[in-house]
Amino acid sequence: EAQVTQNPRYLITVTGKKLTVTCSQNMNHEYMSWYRQDPGLGLRQIYYSMNVEVTDKGDVPEGYKVSRKEKRNFPLILESPSPNQTSLYFCASTWVGLAGVGGTDTQYFGPGTRLTVL
């Protein structure tokens, strides 16, 4: 089954304790992205990756890191979490086609990770 998986689904942690949220897709998509969802603000993009070893900042990258060492995985790292990073996080992947041709540009989302930083 084609899917995007995230782990953990729920996490409660304390300020300053490093954490990683994993994201994996089995569709061989080039493009992957992380979002946070906050009430009244919709989804805001944190980081995205066009392919292996290619990452770029979205609209709200402060306090986050990412890496893309393999095509299927795109972990989100919070080196020193703070309470304002309490949010619902989504990972997504997209097939953009070969040389940008033929892709659907439709994002497939993971189930979300609810993070609470105390």
Cβ of residue 8: shortest distance to other proteins, in angstroms?
14
Site string for other proteins, 1-30 (x = CB under 8 A): ------------------------------
Q: Which of 19, 17, 13 is nearest to 76 (CA)?
A: 19
Site string for other proteins, 42-71 (x = CB under 8 A): xxxx--x-x-----x-xx------------
Q: In degrees rounded to 5, what are phi and psi of residue 83?
A: -55, -30
- Cα separation, 27 vs 94, in Å, equals 9
Q: Which of 80, 90, 93 is nearest to 114 (CA)?
A: 90
Binding site for other proteins (CB under 8 A): 31, 33, 35, 40-45, 48, 50, 56, 58-59, 88, 90, 92, 94, 96, 100, 103, 105-109, 111-112
